[in-house]
Amino acid sequence: MKILKIITFIVLGLCILALLVFFGGWLYYNNKFPVDEEKYPNYVGYINQETAALNDVYSLCNAEAIYHVHHGASEKGYAGNKKQFRDSILANYKNENYTDSGYLNFRFLVTCEGNPGWFETIQVDIDYNSTHFSKDLVMQLQTLTAQPENWNVISIEDNPVDYYMYVSYKLKDGEITEILP
C-alpha cells in the first residue's frame, strides 16, 4: 500500500512537471508576451555608441556580440580583484569640497583588449531621484574608472570578447562610502 502511494505521488509530480514545461514552451513559442519594439527598441544593457562619453578612443571587436549585458561582467571584469580596484580609486580620488550625496552610476563597455569606453552616466540622489552632481566630481570618477589597467580581458572559448560593465559609487557629502557591485 505504501509503495502504491509513493508511485502515485511520483506519477502525479511528473504529470504536473510535464504540464508546466508544456505550458512554458507554449507561451514561449506563441509569443504570449510580445515586446513593444517602439517603446523598447533596444536590449537590456544597451549603450548608444553615438552619444556615450569616450566613444571615440577605442574600437569594439564585435559590436554585434557584447557579452554580460544583463548583469555586467562583475567580478570577472576587475583586473586583479574588486578590492584592488576599490583601493586604487580611493587612493587617487580627491574630494575637492564636493557636497554631493547619492549614487553615481557608470555603465560602459570594455573592449576585447581590456580598454573601457562608451560611458553612460546615471546620477541619482539618496532617495533615487534623478539629480546632477558636480561636473568635476563626475569627470574625476569617470577618468579613474576609465583607466585600462582596472579591467581584464575576458575570453569566451579562448576568444577575447567585448563586454558590458557597470560601477556605482555611493557618495555622502562628496566622499565615496561604497563602490558597487
Which run of H or of E encompasses 179? strand 175-180
On whether both 158 and 95 belong to a single domain, the answer is: yes
- What pLDDT band is residue 177 in, cutting at 50, 70 and 90? very high
β-strand partners of 179: 169
Confidence at residue 137, expressed as pLDDT on a 0 to 100 scale: 94
Residue 152 lies in a domain: yes
121 contacts 47 by C-beta, under 8 angstroms: no
β-strand partners of 121: 106
On whether both 113 and 170 belong to a single domain, the answer is: yes
**Which of these ranges, 53-62, 100-109, 124-133, 149-158, has the smallest mean pLDDT?**
53-62
Q: What is the pTM of this model?
A: 0.70
- Tell me which residue range forms the domain holding 82: 66-180
99 contacts 84 by C-beta, under 8 angstroms: no
pLDDT tens-digit readout, 122-176: 899 999 999 999 999 999 999 999 898 888 888 888 888 888 888 999 999 999 9
Residue 8 lies in a domain: yes
Residue 45 lies in a domain: no
